[in-house]
Amino acid sequence: MSQQTQNSGLARITSLLAAASFWLQWGTGSGAAKTATTVTTTGTTEARSATANTQVTTTVTNDTLQLVATIAAAGSRAITEVGAFDAAGTGSPPTGGLMDIYGDFSVINLNTSDSIAFTVKQVFS
């Protein structure tokens, strides 16, 4: 038997996730495995930032969850990754909660008070 998720099912999945709460946290590592539970927070202290969630279209209507949040640097940083978590976490830098989405990128060097406006998209197919 062959199974596939129908387009309406993809939209329903992203609708449910868009109604959930997520927080973004940046890090200084890269290449985290699918089993990773956090970003590398060496030299960072910033709190996780709550996201604004929406459904967007990549291939079929509403097949993509989009998370948007801005994080401001409390000091000089060399940021190379971001994770989406299901909890704000506690501590400085915060820990706790589950990391649901992870991405890494080329280094972005920041000075104190610089910020990054992240847009994280997870496509479902």
Is residue 65 within 8 A of residue 29, CB to CB? The reply is: no
Residue spans of alpha helices (H) in 19-110: none
For 82-102, write each residue's pLDDT tens digit: 999 999 999 999 999 999 999
- How is residue 23 written in tokens? 């927080």
Cis, peptide link before residue 94, omega less than 30° from 0? no
Instruction: State the Cα–Cα distance between residues 76 and 70, nearest whole angstrom.
Output: 16
Does residue 2 lie within any of the structural domains? no
Does residue 29 lie within any of the structural domains? yes
Tally of structural domains, the chain = 1
Which residue from 65, 78, 62, 63 is spatially nearest to 116, judged by alpha carbons? 78
The partner residues of 85 in beta bridges, in order of sequence, read 23, 99
Does residue 52 lie within any of the structural domains? yes
Q: Model pTM?
A: 0.93
Domain that holds residue 102: 7-123
For 15-45, write each residue's pLDDT tens digit: 999 999 999 999 999 988 888 999 999 999 9
Does residue 42 lie within any of the structural domains? yes
Does residue 22 lie within any of the structural domains? yes
